Structure 1
Amino acid sequence: MSHFYPTAEYAEEQPLARTILATHVASRGFQLGTALGLISGTIESVFRRRAITIPLLLRSAGAGSIIGAGIATVGMIGRMWGREGIEWADRSWRLRYNTGQLAIDNWSEPGAVMGALAVALRRPSAATLGGWRGVVGGAGIGSLVGLIGCISFTEAFQHKSK
């Protein structure tokens, strides 16, 4: 997200404020839904005494990520309903100038792309890994790996510089 949208010098002038905020909220919901999908898929397998397989985890992550993004987006609409344009612009502008948020975006977006490609380009086919839910799950897991990588890199770099 961080490289695709323009940035204004002042919050009042932030273009595409609603799009920036909606994209941010949907992507964080996507990540949270992926994590919850992985947890629920694992718990379900344990209680049903079935093997925890990669296709099961990918399908669970994919379904969770779609549900998470949807719930987060509906929540954002509910929270921002009736708000002035300046409130949208201010929130979006703060997201664009938050260095931590930009770092998370810079790590999780490539991770999502690599995760989706890893599942989609797998031989013999992505259908054996859960179809479209598997590809979306791969994107979600890749996004989470990027998030964890960002946090780990930041922590290691900060401790090293002290």
Structure 2
Amino acid sequence: MSRFFPHTPYAEDQPFYHTVLTTHVLYRGFQVGAIGGIMTGVVRSVVKSIRTGSSSTGFVGWSALQRSTGIGSMVGLGALVMVLPLRMWGKEEIEWKDRTWRLLENKGQMAVDDWSLSGAVLMPLYMSMRKQSGERLGWKMAMGRAGIGSTAGIIGYLSWTYLINRGSL
């Protein structure tokens, strides 16, 4: 996502600093919420299987996981909508520019953005093509698909960087 914004040689010249930092922080809130939603969905599945006494750990289902992830994504996003203004309250313009410049300078951060945004876009597209007749796509499902895709993108980045490519960008 950060590749869409210009990056200057000096922090003092960095344009769109409010926009870059805000989109970065809100997207990270979305991602953290998605990971929390995924974990919540899996834990709910295990607890449900224990309560019903089934011998298998029967997974709660793909639809329930998407809804759980969608709700988690929106909770994470909403939390950081409130936290960002509190954190940056009273900060000087140069502090916003410096944080933005350092964010855009970080190659690892840029790679995480690329991989996670690719997953967040491709997963909902793929799932829309697989849509079964009569399936309703509400906001929970749509956000859940984007959250699962974003998480898959991060896992893909980490796998590529640290397992396949051995730490080089």
TM-score by length of 1: 0.90
Map 1:21-100 onto structure 2 (within 5 A). Answer: 21-49=21-49, 51-100=59-108
Of residues 54-63 and 130-139 in structure 1, the stretch that sits farther from structure 2 once superposed is: 130-139
CA distance in 2: counterparts of 1:19 and 1:43, whole angstroms: 36
Over aligned residues, Cα RMSD in angstroms? 1.8
| CA gap 1:80/1:144 in 2 versus in 1, 3 angstroms | same
Letter in 2 for 1:38: I
- 1:40 deviates by 1.2
Number of residues paired by the alignment? 159
CA distance in 2: counterparts of 1:142 and 1:133, whole angstroms: 14
TM-score by length of 2: 0.86
CA distance in 1: counterparts of 2:160 and 2:83, whole angstroms: 31
**Among the aligned pairs, what percent are the same residue?**
45
| CA gap 1:125/1:19 in 2 versus in 1, 3 angstroms | farther
Q: Paired residue for 1:154, among 152, 155, 161?
A: 161
Which stretches of structure 1, 4 residues or longer, exceed 6 Å deviation after superposition? none
CA offsets, 1:102-127, max 9 Å, x none? 01011111110011212333322584
Aligned partner of 1:117 in structure 2 is 125
| CA gap 1:121/1:135 in 2 versus in 1, 3 angstroms | farther
Larger Rg: 2
- The answer to whether residue 27 in structure 2 is matched with residue 10 in structure 1 is no
| CA gap 1:65/1:21 in 2 versus in 1, 3 angstroms | same
| CA gap 1:78/1:153 in 2 versus in 1, 3 angstroms | same
Unaligned runs of 5+ in 2: 53-58
Unaligned runs of 5+ in 1: none
